[in-house]
Chains A and B, each alone.
Chain A
Amino acid sequence: MEYMIGLEIHCQLTGLASKLFCPCACNYRGSEPNANTCPVCLGLPGTLPLLNKKAVEFAGMISLALGCRIPDEIMFYRKNYFYPDLPKNFQLTQYNAYGITSIGVDGKLAYGEKSARIRLVQLEEDPGRLVYEGGSMEKSLYTLVDYNRAGVPLVEIVTEPDFTDPKDVRDFLNKITSIVEHLGICDTNLEGAVRCDANVSVAGGNRVEIKNVSSFADVEKALRYEMTRQKTMVSRDIEVKAETRHWDDARKVTKESRSKEEEQDYRYFPEPDVPSIELGGDFTKSLQRSMPELPDARKARFESMGLTPHVAAVLIDNKELADFFESAIKMHNSPKEIANWLVTDLMGFVDEKEKEAGHYLSGIKAGPAHIADLAKLVEAGTVNRATAKQILAQVVETGEMPSDIAKKTQVTRIDDAGALAQAVDAVFAAEPSAVADAKKNPAAANFLLGKVMQQTKGRADPKAALELIRKKLA
């Protein structure tokens, strides 16, 4: 069966100091309810919106990163609807029905081998938050409203319905995350900083919107659930209703919206209090000049250092990892070695759930200096790889430097040829039957090597030890 999936991604511009139309802090998290407000974001009578020009720049940067065209002039529109979290009972947003006035249009973004078309990028204000003390609307006698978030700048990215597979959606969202992180405009780790609504239809049927998905990771799950639901309905000849469904995070299902959402007429019209903003070619040109390095370019640069495309991709997908890598190679210029320690070994210590949530390095006490130090120890032959792994496990827990651990526990490799020969002699004396075996079958020498490593608590250089064993067997 054929599926069509489109996305609406909301991304808070957390990299800004102030809200979209007033001087209140953009960072509302941790404030007392309704403390981060002023007459403007509360929509008090007589107040006027004052456009944060930096927000226009940030939205322009996203537009360029998504391959969008930026029009010469942009405008804000009022979207009129009544809702208690909306102080003015209209939202300032952008609208393209009467001419292109949103910050970006007609883009395209490649992810992996595929790509998706971007219909538009628009700048708008976030509403306040409804707080249910009983935990949900059903379980609460009343609703509290917190306007701290009201007016926080949001960028909405709307794609064409170009996806057919939830896995692709996941990859696409990872790419978006990496882009906004690289642009430095959004800290995607903050609760609620990125949200995604999805719409899905099966076999040319009605479109169902899925809302209330609070993390990118759950979008894939919500889509899989919804696709199965629609497929089952189609196979039983039941018509799929055009509707909005909410993602139930606890039960991991989509469900019909409790309040019946009527066909809304938002009565869009241009906001008279924010004069249209002339951008022109100079705006785009100067933005292009000031754009930071984007994930694709960075990945190419990493590959040119000798990293495999896979390793480079893992690093790029999470800006935190890529930055970690770049700091480490500044301390010890050995990209391949460091990348491998990072991607293969260090990631092994990260909880899968944390990774799912995009928190790759939380709770890990190893920093770039530690990995650089570790790589240096291995490359200098001071410790062998197996020992280095044990050291890393300790570093992750304690944050001590690898070279300090190596010294303290004297796991430094046995360099002294005499000491190594002694250990080999001891093993030969203790394992006569294994020695006899090994003389007939060269592969059995590995057993003896294992014994030597055991005896030396891993401090022996396995290469040197094996050589010595072979010599002794011959």
Chain B
Amino acid sequence: MLYKLDAASVAKKVAGRELSSEEYIHQVLERIEKVEPKVNAFITVNKKAVEQARALDREIRDGKPAGPLAGVAVAVKDNISTKGIRTTCASRMLDDYVPPYDATVVRRLQDAGAIIVGKVNLDEFAMGSTTEFSRHGPTRNPWDISRVPGGSSGGSAASVAALECAVSLGSDTGGSVRCPASFCSVVGLKPTYGLVSRFGLVSYANSLEQVGPAGRTVADVATVLGVIAGFDEHDNTTAAGRPSYSAYKKRPLRVGLVKEFIEGADEQVVKIIRGAVDTLAKEGCACEETSLPSVKYALASYYTIAMAEASSNLSRYDNMRYGFESSPEGYEWNSYFSHARGNFGEEVKRRIITGSYVLSSGYYGKYYLKAQQARSIIRKELKSLFKKYDVLAGPTMPILPFKIGEKIDDPLKMYLVDVDTVVANLAGVPAISVPAGFAGGLPVGLQLMADEFCEQTLFDAAGMFEQAAGVRGSPDL
């Protein structure tokens, strides 16, 4: 049952040669094979994983220093480029696309000794909150396979929860790591904008998104962040320096429970979140309720900006140089573009059309510019709250995981579930979702936000809570 180990244990044992990565990866792959018919988290399993693990064992035997993720099984969201392994974004548009280069985060994982076991499912081009909008079918919530795992990094969170890997990478544009982390009862982090390189992350909304780790413990998430974070010469938006993170420190933090985040949330969720804040108070934190009135602008601002950027980012998919099997023979180029681009899924088309509309001349000022103004108000308000509080708390998701298909036909209802997560993306600040409890057997996540580049504060708070609350366990599969 080696696949149950967390990343810290695997790395320690592999480094100490108590455990061969090959044996461990072999068991992980067996686990994947066993549970995938139920969970459907993977799009592509890395056929070379065992071979790579064997090579790593050999290097360690030869005395090469072991990295912080030596031998650890990692799953990577299928919108992050992996050299030689197809990267589909769960879209027909990229069915046959095999990147000729590795994303910076992938290279850093491999340099740290990680073994990439496969590429995991998502909503097409990361547009969605349920992982239902995938060419490869929906991923199911390991705690109740009739329910959604959240999204868009549903495969990243579900694979960690289902013990198909120790840790994973997702991407978070408006909550896409935290939402599935909450629904699947794992830890998920959205780092500060500019902390982690986006080179190799297929852009959905580039001013909002970051690559973020998911894991079963706060410590594992902190370790992965330490590996992937820091300046990258391939991404002009990364900040200087290569930070490192330590195990959590118990300390009396100032915690603000954001009123607007619990108003309108499911009662069962609110109860658990209030209980979580009480737990932090018992650990010595100064907790009180506070308010972030600009939350009311967040969803409209987020979706306007995200769709505008998406409409432009996705222009390049014209199937001229890569994509899927289709011959341009006999088409005039304009009609070929239309033909090829007809292969996007419904949700992606909806966002491209809406995004094109808000950027069109005459509407730019009315929508895009307004959204940017709202964004700066939200940022300012958050900044001033962070003078009073070290962390801001609330539920990650205002509701419990719902049934597959329940909201798929009502885009507006679907967008509403992101209300608590988009704030951190708009403001560029880090946020973490940590398992807070269960309601009727369904997971609830506690979201904690901190000021820019204060990821260590989040790890301290989340780690303290994790230790005190002891919300652990794995689903039966």
A contact residues vs B (CB 8 Å cutoff): 39, 42-51, 78, 80, 82, 84, 87-90, 98, 143, 145, 265, 267-269, 272-275
CA distance A46 to B99 in the complex (A): 9
A80 engages B315 (CB within 8 Å):
yes
CA distance A48 to B369 in the complex (A): 24
B316 engages A88 (CB within 8 Å):
yes
Give chain B's interface residue range (CB within 8 Å of chain A). Answer: 35 or more
B contact residues vs A (CB 8 Å cutoff): 79-81, 87, 89, 94, 97, 99-101, 103, 198-203, 206-207, 233-237, 308-309, 311-312, 315-318, 320-322, 333-334, 337, 356, 359-361, 364, 368-369
| A residues less than 8 Å from B360 (CB atoms) | 265, 267
Q: A46-B103, A88-B315 are in contact. List 4 more A-B contacts (CB 8 A).
A: A45-B81, A46-B202, A47-B200, A269-B312
CA distance A98 to B373 in the complex (A): 14
A273 engages B100 (CB within 8 Å):
no
A275 engages B236 (CB within 8 Å):
yes
| B residues less than 8 Å from A80 (CB atoms) | 311-312, 315, 359
A43, A48, A50, A84 interface centre (most CB from chain B within 10 Å):
A48
In the complex, 11 of the A-B residue pairs with CB atoms within 8 angstroms, ordered by the A residue number, are: A44-B100, A45-B202, A46-B203, A47-B200, A48-B198, A80-B312, A84-B320, A267-B311, A267-B312, A273-B198, A275-B236
A87, A267, A275 interface centre (most CB from chain B within 10 Å):
A267
Pick the contact of A90: B81, B97, B312 (CB < 8 A): B312
| A residues less than 8 Å from B201 (CB atoms) | 46
A-B contact count (CB 8 A): 98
CA distance A235 to B315 in the complex (A): 46
A46 engages B315 (CB within 8 Å):
no
B234 engages A48 (CB within 8 Å):
yes
A82 engages B315 (CB within 8 Å):
yes
| A residues less than 8 Å from B103 (CB atoms) | 46
| B residues less than 8 Å from A90 (CB atoms) | 312, 315
B89 engages A267 (CB within 8 Å):
no
A46 engages B322 (CB within 8 Å):
no
B321 engages A143 (CB within 8 Å):
no
The minimal Cβ–Cβ distance linking B322 to chain A, given in whole angstroms, is: 7
A272 engages B309 (CB within 8 Å):
yes
A272 engages B207 (CB within 8 Å):
yes
| B residues less than 8 Å from A268 (CB atoms) | 359, 364
The minimal Cβ–Cβ distance linking B76 to chain A, given in whole angstroms, is: 12
B369 engages A98 (CB within 8 Å):
yes
| A residues less than 8 Å from B236 (CB atoms) | 48-51, 273-275
The minimal Cβ–Cβ distance linking A145 to chain B, given in whole angstroms, is: 8
Pick the contact of B364: A145, A269, A274 (CB < 8 A): A269
- For B323, the closest partner residue in chain A by CB is A45
The minimal Cβ–Cβ distance linking A82 to chain B, given in whole angstroms, is: 6
The minimal Cβ–Cβ distance linking A137 to chain B, given in whole angstroms, is: 11
The minimal Cβ–Cβ distance linking B376 to chain A, given in whole angstroms, is: 14
CA distance A88 to B316 in the complex (A): 4
- For B362, the closest partner residue in chain A by CB is A265
Pick the contact of B81: A43, A46, A89 (CB < 8 A): A46
CA distance A457 to B300 in the complex (A): 94
B316 engages A267 (CB within 8 Å):
no
A49, A265, A274 interface centre (most CB from chain B within 10 Å):
A265
- For A79, the closest partner residue in chain B by CB is B312
The minimal Cβ–Cβ distance linking B64 to chain A, given in whole angstroms, is: 29
The minimal Cβ–Cβ distance linking B125 to chain A, given in whole angstroms, is: 10
Pick the contact of B99: A45, A98, A274, A275 (CB < 8 A): A45
| In the complex with contacts A46-B199, A46-B201, A39-B233 CB distance below 8 A | no
B361 engages A265 (CB within 8 Å):
yes
- For B232, the closest partner residue in chain A by CB is A48
| In the complex with contacts A43-B316, A46-B202, A80-B315, A267-B237 CB distance below 8 A | no
Q: What are the 5 closest A-B residue pairs judged by CB atoms, nearest first?
A: A89-B315, A272-B207, A267-B359, A272-B206, A45-B202
A45 engages B87 (CB within 8 Å):
yes
| B residues less than 8 Å from A78 (CB atoms) | 312
| A residues less than 8 Å from B368 (CB atoms) | 269
